[in-house]
Amino acid sequence: MSEHDPELTALEASLRALAPRPALDRDRIVYEAGRASVKPRGAWPHACGALTLLLLVSLGWHRLRPEPPAVERIVYVQVPVTPEQPLPSEPLDPLAIRSDQADYLHLRAGVLRGGVDVLPSGPLVETEGRPLTPAAALDYP
Amino acid sequence: MRPEQLGQLVEEHSAALVLYARQWCADAEDIVQEALLKLVRQRPTPEPVLPWLYRVVRNAAVDQARAARRRRQHEQAASARASEWFVPTPGTRLDAEAATRALQGLPEEQREVLVARLWGGLTFEQAAELMGVSASAAHRHYHAGLTALRERLDAPCPNTTRS
């Protein structure tokens, strides 16, 4: 094409010799590029700003909001009634001792003081028609 | 991307990028600046960087041109900046303003491939990818654009009077 046509090749060279008008300032572009490179990017600055604004609005609203009036109300609460426990007919005496226990304690105190001779000589309990001897009571053969 | 790399990119390619963006919109400088800042934010840096930059500039410029067309200001703004495409350089064979007018009169696809190839330094394949056409189609547009420019630049401009 143009490389085969000397006239067009000469025209190409003449056109290339024309210098496009410089329109940009090199230093300004480099400066702007430096500024652009340190600018925070992404959604974080916007999110941070929005949250700060929300916080300020919320605080202001809380401060300016009138206090709600106090309302007094009477509340009736139904308490469940438990049936009364019947009282014992006679008071319990912790010191009350049954009569057979009293006999045993009396006998024990006598043995401690006077030995086994204090024990009654007769059979203590009759078992199967035979009198219970002290040896049988102690399970001696 | 390190600052010195960015500075070198601005020095070597920003003028051609602005020229490329001017085909569609009046605020070409802002678009190229935004593209460069977008490049700095890219992790990792796109490779090769030049076709990436041209694509970003093209997308932004076309979007802005659509918006401006809706406002019916595109043509007025473009014509107001017609003389600002090239630096008038004494001693060159071509007049900067005449070349600008000749370029502006080309169909968009011819003008785009010429700018991308001649001043942007892109290959036909890269320019074709930008334009969304095949490499052979880009080659065809380029040749047709050059031919049209030769005719326009050789013919005397009807608006100028020669002494």
Residue of B nearest to A32 (CA): B37
A129 pLDDT more than 70? no
Q: How many CB atoms within 10 Å of residue A134?
A: 12
User: Which pLDDT value is given to residue B162?
Assistant: 42
Mean pLDDT across chain A, nearest whole number?
77
Which is more confident, A46 or B128?
A: B128
In this prediction, residues B33-54 reach a mean pLDDT of: 89
Nearest to B78 by CA among B56, B109, B100, B111: B100
Q: What is the pLDDT of residues B58-106, one digit of tens each?
A: 999 999 888 877 776 555 555 555 556 888 777 777 888 888 889 989 9
The pTM score is 0.57
What number of residues does chain A have? 141
Of B69, B63, B57, which Cα lies nearest the Cα of B29? B57
For residue B139, give the nearest of A1, A8, A22 by CB distance.
A1
Is B36 in Cβ contact with A21 (below 8 Å)?
no
Q: Residue B46 has what pLDDT?
A: 87
Task: Kindly state the helix (H) or strand (E) to which residue B99 belongs, with its residue range.
Answer: helix B96-104
Q: How many CB pairs (< 8 A) connect A and B?
A: 105
Interface touch B87/A21, C-beta < 8 Å:
yes
Q: Chain B residues contacting A, CB < 8 Å?
A: 3, 6-7, 10-11, 14-16, 18-19, 28-29, 32-33, 36-37, 40-41, 84-87, 89, 92-94, 96, 99, 114, 118-119, 139, 142-143, 146-147, 149-150, 153
B159 pLDDT exceeds 50?
A: no
Write down how long chain B is.
Answer: 163
Give B97-154 pLDDT, tens digit per residue: 888 889 989 999 999 999 999 999 999 999 999 999 999 999 999 999 999 999 988 7
Query: Chain B partners of A37 at a C-beta cutoff of 8 Å?
Result: 40-41
Whether B32 sits inside 8 A of A23 (CB atoms) is yes
Residue in this structure with the two tokens 């002290």, named with its chain if needed: A134
Residue A23 to residue B150, Cβ atoms within 8 A: no
ipTM: 0.77
